[in-house]
DNA sequence: CAGTAGGAGCCCC
DNA sequence: GGGGCTCCTACTG
């Protein structure tokens, strides 16, 4: 059972000004923490996965998320205890939310019928943020970035887990009828729907099905399946926007990746029930009506495809040559690695790639490389940290939960940073100066026990 | 010697 | 103006 879930409470901003009183983001095993009832106005499990998991139900291999949002989950509305209008977080950032049927079936409050289906689906299909609402709720741009990023991560984790569990290719277009059947059955199981007798459809067909098609296909819960598919698509495309895949600047090394990305490009053109202009990810990333600040995507820097730093020797100093090729290999064909990398923020866009795509200035690129050069050092380091397979010889987590990381090779890190920023004269002295600037910004600090080359991300940057 | 810390001027977006 | 680069001095282990 896929098991990314969120438990919500209303607490307001925490000490970091971050809209979670408590946020736990852990992988692997469930650690049950008692919910603090003080100040809370209600709980609901809110997830791609319908069932709230007890601690014992969660499997060790299942990533999960347990969070407390600053809003009651009486969706879109009213704090029934305090009778205060509150804005649902989904209204602020329009993150895909579970389908109506899910909420109806699994809502823990007595009245799930107050949900308005259209509002939910609208949220699914509009992956944008409302800055005014966000500001009204005391969230600045950066907080919203982080906030949406976290939710996105949860979604991607859940999808990744489900794909791994079902043995599904991450490319929808590669789904055979058997794969399609597996997905449908899994979703039916998750949403306690009666699976259709004959559900052997390819991923391509699946993507092309409208809600009506789904409802014909599965009268009881077809809309749920359709909505769930939209959630998958939205979350996925938000990581890998279609135009990115359409970039003409792919290198030879990218070719073997294209099959895994074509579906996203095709989704808009061929089978998506939405018009291309309505594509939420497209809106989100092209900056028209999307979120004005993409710094959140520093984790997931949007750019043209460059899978491996070993391919990035076109940079000013070609300094990746001393990297072990094996370390740099993304191992596309290794099932586990391939899957995780595919979903990994850095899969499509190496942390080093934006330095190499500057000349690839076609229209599509422009939409997604506008932040080139503006990536922040802390984000860059996070990107490297999140790809230990490739960069553990450069920088690695010491304590992931704590946010402590160690620079294994100051030389290499500076070199990479220099490549990324196209600064051939970058060195660790300069890089560390930049790191120290983060002290007063509350992004990074030295850990209590000072160690050489060890730094610590402060919350929420450590999430 | 390498790393840490922080001031200051500058550039770029 | 913010973020980062660069250069600098002083200090530490």
Q: Express each pLDDT in A349-370 by its tens digit.
A: 444 543 333 333 333 332 222 2
Same domain, A131 and A30: yes
Query: Is the same domain home to A125 and A245?
Result: no
Q: Look at residue A280 and tell me if it is in a domain.
A: yes
The residue range of the domain holding A442 is 240-457
Which has the higher per-residue pLDDT, A2 or A306?
A2
Domain final residue pick, A125, A147, A169? A147
Question: Each residue of A401-421: b (16+ CB within 10 Å) or e?
Answer: eebbbbbebbebbbbbbbbbb
Confidence check: pLDDT of A221 > 80: no
The span from the CA of A98 to the CA of A228, in Å, is 7
Structure token digits, residue A459: 């919350």
A394 and A245 in a common domain: yes
Single out the residue of A324, A399, A322, A387 nearest to residue A352, CA to CA.
A387
Give the pLDDT score at A404.
87
Q: Which residue is nearest to nucleotide C4 (CA to C1')?
A: A434
**Nearest nucleic acid nucleotide to A375, CA to C1' distance:** C3
Domain total for chain A? Answer: 2
How far in angstroms lies nucleotide B13's C1' from the CA of residue A235? 30
Closest C-alpha to A106, from A34, A5, A229, A205: A5
Asked whether residue A88 is domain-assigned, the answer is: yes
Measured CA to CA, the distance from residue A88 to residue A74 in angstroms comes to 8
Q: Using the CB atom, is residue A453 less than 7 Å from strand B? A: yes
Q: How far apart are CA A303 and CA A373, in angstroms?
A: 11
Residue A228 predicted with pLDDT over 50: yes
**A430 CA to C6 C1' distance (Å):** 7
- Say which CATH number the domain at A335 has: 1.10.10.10
Q: What is the dihedral of CA A24, A28, A29, A34, to 10 degrees?
A: 10
Q: Please write the tens of the pLDDT for every residue from A145-173.
A: 555 555 566 566 666 667 667 777 666 66
Residue A170 lies in a domain: no
| C-beta atoms surrounding A176 within 10 Å | 14
Stretch A239-263: mean pLDDT = 34
Q: Tell whether A253 is covered by a domain.
A: yes
Q: How far is the CA of A430 from the C1' of C9 (A)?
A: 15
Q: Is residue A222 part of a domain?
A: no
Same domain? For A245 and A143 the reply is no
From A147, A162, A188, give the residue that closes a domain.
A147
CA–C1' gap, A436 and B4, in angstroms = 9
Q: How far is the CA of A379 from the C1' of C8 (A)?
A: 27
In a domain, A63, yes or no: yes
Q: Which residue has the higher pLDDT, A351 or A441?
A: A441
**Closest nt to A435 (CA→C1')?**
C4
Q: Is the Cβ–Cβ distance between A70 and A21 less than 8 Å?
A: yes
Strand C contacts (Cβ < 7 A) comprise A 375-379, 417, 421, 423, 425-426, 429-431, 433-434, 437-438, 441
Under the banding of pLDDT at 50, 70 and 90, the label for residue A70 is very low
Yes or no: say if A131 and A125 are a contact pair by the CB < 8 Å rule.
no
Question: Has residue A204 got a pLDDT over 60?
Answer: yes
Domain-embedded: residue A78: yes
Cβ of residue A197 lies below 7 Å from strand B: no
Q: Note the pLDDT of residue A458.
A: 82
Strand partners, A407: A395
| A202 φψ region: left (φ > 0), alpha (ψ -120 to 50), beta (else) | beta
Please state which of the ranges A83-92, A288-297, A332-341, A399-408 shows the lowest mean pLDDT.
Answer: A332-341
For A214, residues 6+ apart whose C-beta sits below 8 A from its C-beta are: A222, A223, A225, A226, A229
pLDDT of A434 strictly over 80? yes
Beta pairing, strands A78-79 & A64-67: unpaired
Strand B proximal residues, A:337-366, Cβ < 7 Å: none
Same domain, A120 and A250: no
Q: Which nucleotides of C are covered by protein (CB under 7 A)?
A: 3-8
How far in angstroms lies nucleotide C9's C1' from the CA of residue A22? 43
Higher pLDDT, A78 or A126: A126
**Cα A413 to Cα A444: distance, rounded to the nearest angstrom:** 16
Which is nearest to A222 in space by CA: A234, A231, A212?
A212
Pairing state between β A444-445 and A454-457:
antiparallel
Q: In this predicted structure, what is the pLDDT of residue A138?
A: 53
Chain B positions within 7 A of any protein Cβ atom are 2-8, 13
Does the pLDDT value for residue A232 go beyond 80?
A: no
Among A120, A147, A174, give the residue marking a domain's end: A147
Contact A404, A323 (CB under 8 A): no
User: In three state form, how does the secondary structure of chain A look?
Assistant: CCCCEEECCCCCCCCCCCCCCCEEEECCCCCCCCCCCCCCCCCCEEECCCCCCCCCCCCCCCCEEEECCCCCCCCCCEECCCCEECCCHHHHHCCCCCCHHHHHHHCCCCCHHHCCHHHHHHHHHCCCCCHHHHHHCCCCHHHHHHHHHHHHHHHHHHHHHHHHHHCCCCCHHHCCHHHHHHHHHHHHHHCCCCCCCCCCCCHHHHHHCCHHHHHHHCCCCHHHHHHHHHHHHHHHHHHCCHHHHCCCCCCHHHHHHHHHHHHHHHHHHHHCCCCHHHCHHHHHHHCCCCCCCCHHHHCCCCCCCECCHHHCCCCCCCHHHHCCHHHHCCCCCCHHHHHHHHHCHHHHECCCHHHCCCCCCCHHHHHHCCCCCCCCHHHHHHHHHCCHHHHCCCEEEEECCCCEEEECCHHHHHHHHHHHHCCCCCCHHHHHHHHHHHHHHCCEECCCCCCCCEEEECCCCCC
A399 domain residue, yes or no: yes
A442-458 per-position pLDDT tens digit: 888 888 787 888 888 88
């Amino acid at each position: 059972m896929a098991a990314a879930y969120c438990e919500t409470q209303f607490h307001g901003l925490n000490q970091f000004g971050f809209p979670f009183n408590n946020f736990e983001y852990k992988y692997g095993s469930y650690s049950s923490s008692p919910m603090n009832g003080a100040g809370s106005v209600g709980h609901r499990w809110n997830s791609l996965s319908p069932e709230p998991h007890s601690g014992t139900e969660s499997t060790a291999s299942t990533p999960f998320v347990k969070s407390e949002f600053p809003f009651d989950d009486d969706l879109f509305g009213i704090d029934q205890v305090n009778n205060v209008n509150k804005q649902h977080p989904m209204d602020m950032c329009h993150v895909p939310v579970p389908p109506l049927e899910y909420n109806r079936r699994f809502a823990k409050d007595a009245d799930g019928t107050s949900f308005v289906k259209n509002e939910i689906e609208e949220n699914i299909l509009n992956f944008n943020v409302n800055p005014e609402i966000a500001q009204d709720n005391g969230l600045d741009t950066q907080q919203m970035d982080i906030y949406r990023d976290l939710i996105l991560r949860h979604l991607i984790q859940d999808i990744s887990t489900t794909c791994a569990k079902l043995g599904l290719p991450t490319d929808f277009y590669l789904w055979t009828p058997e794969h399609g059947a597996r997905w449908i059955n899994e979703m039916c199981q998750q949403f306690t729907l009666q699976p259709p007798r004959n559900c052997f459809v390819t991923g391509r067909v699946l993507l092309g099905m409208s809600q009506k098609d789904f409802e014909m296909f599965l009268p009881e819960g077809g809309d749920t399946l359709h909505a769930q598919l939209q959630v998958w698509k939205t979350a996925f495309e938000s990581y890998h926007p279609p135009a990115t895949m359409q970039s003409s600047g792919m290198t030879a090394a990218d070719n073997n990746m294209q099959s895994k990305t074509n579906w996203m490009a095709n989704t808009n053109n061929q089978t998506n029930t939405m018009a291309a202009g309505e594509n939420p990810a497209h809106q989100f990333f092209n900056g028209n009506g999307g979120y004005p600040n993409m710094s959140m995507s520093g984790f997931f820097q949007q750019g043209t495809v460059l899978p491996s730093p070993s391919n990035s020797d076109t940079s000013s100093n070609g300094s990746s040559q001393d990297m072990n090729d094996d370390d740099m290999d993304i191992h596309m064909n290794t099932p586990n690695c391939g899957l995780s990398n595919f979903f990994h923020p850095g899969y499509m866009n190496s942390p080093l790639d934006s330095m190499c795509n500057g000349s690839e200035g076609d229209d599509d690129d422009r939409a997604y490389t506008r932040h080139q050069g503006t990536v922040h050092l802390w984000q860059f380091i996070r990107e490297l940290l999140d790809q230990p397979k490739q960069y553990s010889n450069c920088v690695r987590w010491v304590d992931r939960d704590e946010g402590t990381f160690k620079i294994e090779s100051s030389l290499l890190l500076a070199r990479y940073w220099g490549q990324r920023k196209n600064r051939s004269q970058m060195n660790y002295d300069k890089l560390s100066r930049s790191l120290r600037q983060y002290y007063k910004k509350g992004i990074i600090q030295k850990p209590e026990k000072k160690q050489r080359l060890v730094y610590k991300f402060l919350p929420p940057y450590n999430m």
